[in-house]
Structure 1
Amino acid sequence: MDLPLWLQTNSPPAPSPSTKVKQSNFIQKTLQGIIHFVRESVYSEEIALRPGFLQALDPRMKLLAIFSLLITVNLLRHLPLLWGIYLGILILAMLSKVPSRFLIQRVWFVIPLFTGIMVLPSIFNWVRPGDPLWMLWTFSTPHHLGPIHFPPELTITRQGFWGAILLISRVGISVTLAVLLTLTTRWNNLLRALRTFFVPKIFIVTLEMTYRYIFVLITLLEDMFLARKARDAGRSSGSEQRRFVGSSIAHLFGKSLQMSEEVYTSMVARGYTGEIFTLQRFQLRWVDIFSAGVSLMACLTLYAADKVLGG
């Protein structure tokens, strides 16, 4: 019986101490990414179980309070009021034993990049005319694109710059509120609280199954890559790795379809109707009502202050 080709190929020699080790291949990087994802998910679940201020509140009142804050944040037009809310969010995070550094890194390392790219064109006078703030370039002749004529100066306008800062602040603070809610609330309790506010069943079921299937498919993907790594006698070429990735995607897609049918059929056979049931029962206390009332009053006060400031 002939040996397979991958066994006939000699493995590359081990690098000497003076030789720089090459970067890990695609399989190794993917495994590291999976481990990082699982570790972060477990850490988020640990935060939700800590004895903090937000963790102790009723999920329904917590959802109502944060939803009202989200609406208020997106209605305010003055940066001091917005960043005052953000300061209050950081105080709540400290009382809830959520590391402020973790919360800031999770939001502000991503939001300025993606939101900033979207709003970047609006800061220039060619897109949004306004009062010049910084002069960037002066052209000898005006430019035009068909019937559209551009001024000879390219400037950053005051309206465009502060409008971009306002939008980035709104998005960042809104995402921070959402992250704080998910970090301090267990997923099952959050879904049940959403159902209390008459969110459609199909939406809740989709969220629930998506959350569970992410971990199931991540585990399956980890097994596939570990098996590949264990059988990789030598360093695979780029074409071999691309073929493996393509076949893995196809296999994972087929496996997820088959598994979804089997799981849903077994759930229906056991009486599943789409409702969320948890062992923990919600108990509304006076501190929950008081916290929700304080949040609503703060939202109304901030909105009124924004109207008084005008602008």
Structure 2
Amino acid sequence: MELPSWLSETNPALCRCGCGGRRKGNFIEKTLRDIVGFLHEAVFSEEIAMREGFLQNLDSRVKVIMLIFLLVVVNLISHLSLLWAFYFILLAVAVFSHLPLRQVIARVWLVIPLFTGIMVLPALLNWVRPGEPFWVIWNFKHPLNIGSLSLPATLAVTKQGLWGGIMLVSRVGISVSLAVVLTLSTRWMDFLRALRFFYVPRIFVVTLEMTYRYIFVLITSMEEMFLARKARDAGQSPPKEQRRFVAAAVGGLLGKSQQMSEEIYWAMTARGYTGEIRISQNSRIGWQDAIILLLVTLAGLIMIVADKVLGG
């Protein structure tokens, strides 16, 4: 038996007709690559949380308390200089905790300016928020009347709107950065158990914990399905057939997840589960954690006082 001609090609990216044109990307291969990327990122985040570092050594309950408190502080501060001074201190703490600085910055500032900026964009204009013109976009030479609505003759970006937009984007970006630093330095299971400190219902915590655990099982099953399909057609099936396979795979995975949930429930029932969830008690907060929490609280209060002084 001879190998198919397409299997012996040195450049499979070229189309079969040999015209030298680029073929469209393989749908199954892209999906498989995304699945592997998701698993790699999740495992990498767990590895970061298990490293030796300043934030990693803190109790997860203390980190949750600090996160809530600092989020309040960030949203109470009205001076941009104080906000960004706090942000650079946060980056220094991330470096001291051996967190990937590039990932901390990229996860926030590649997304937040886009989505928050779209929301803020109308507030920059004097038609929405009157103020002192900073940049005149268009001059209509006479006021515009749209029904009962009267608009100024000029469409401009105001200083007040621009300053408010920069402040909102900064607050949102720094708040998300706080959450990113917390998630990168805390294992997911430790974070869920810390929620019990705030009297979050046990059934809610256990549901989140089992969801997080078994989502990787299902993702791994899907990866095996796509890998087996790719090994059988070597990426040569038409795009329409690939999309049909993806839809069938999603449906099969849904049925498998339902069957797995029933099996897990019956296994828990066989082991004595009656509806009451028992979670192991967390250890006491150490004196080092208490000192760090006190220092962070004092620093936050100092920032609020400094903001009031500068505002005066």
Contact 1:49 1:55 in 2 (8 A): yes
Q: Deviations over 1:1-48 (max 9, x none)?
A: xxxxxxxx9858836599465353111111111111111111111111
Contact 2:61 2:194 in 1 (8 A): yes
Aligned: 1:248 with 2:249 = yes
Aligned partners of 1:165 and 1:176: how far apart in 2? 16
Contact 2:26 2:239 in 1 (8 A): no
* Residue number in structure 2 paired with 1:196: 197
* Residue number in structure 1 paired with 2:277: 274
- CA RMSD in angstroms comes to 2.4
Aligned: 1:237 with 2:238 = yes
Aligned partners of 2:145 and 2:30: how far apart in 1? 48
The percentage of counterpart residues that share the same residue type is 55
* Residue number in structure 2 paired with 1:257: 258
SS at match of 2:228: helix
Q: Deviations over 1:222-262 (max 9, x none)?
A: 12211221222563323222322222222222222222232
* Residue number in structure 1 paired with 2:215: 214
SS at match of 2:99: coil
Aligned partners of 1:222 and 1:234: how far apart in 2? 15
Aligned partners of 2:278 and 2:119: how far apart in 1? 39
SS at match of 1:133: strand
Aligned: 1:300 with 2:295 = no
Greater RCO structure (CA 8 Å; 6+ sep): 1
Structure 2: tracts of 5 or more residues without a match = 15-19
Aligned partners of 2:194 and 2:110: how far apart in 1? 30
Deviates more, 1:172-181 or 1:263-272: 263-272
SS at match of 1:135: strand
Q: CA deviation at 1:268?
A: 4.1
Compute the TM-score of the two structures, normalised by the length of structure 1. Answer: 0.88
* Residue number in structure 2 paired with 1:14: 9
Aligned partners of 2:96 and 2:290: how far apart in 1? 18
Aligned partners of 1:186 and 1:131: how far apart in 2? 49
* Residue number in structure 2 paired with 1:3: none
Write the letter of the residue equivalent to 1:235.
Answer: Q
Q: Deviations over 1:94-135 (max 9, x none)?
A: 111112112111211111111111111111112222111111
Contact 1:15 1:21 in 2 (8 A): no
Aligned partners of 2:204 and 2:160: how far apart in 1? 39
Aligned residues: 301
CA distance 1:236–1:252, shift in 2 (3 Å): same
Contact 1:65 1:295 in 2 (8 A): yes
CA distance 1:84–1:231, shift in 2 (3 Å): same
Contact 1:11 1:234 in 2 (8 A): no
Aligned partners of 1:257 and 1:204: how far apart in 2? 20
CA distance 1:268–1:144, shift in 2 (3 Å): farther
Compute the TM-score of the two structures, normalised by the length of structure 2. Answer: 0.88
SS at match of 1:149: strand
Aligned partners of 1:291 and 1:271: how far apart in 2? 41
* Residue number in structure 2 paired with 1:119: 120
Q: Deviations over 1:189-218 (max 9, x none)?
A: 111111112122243233213312321221
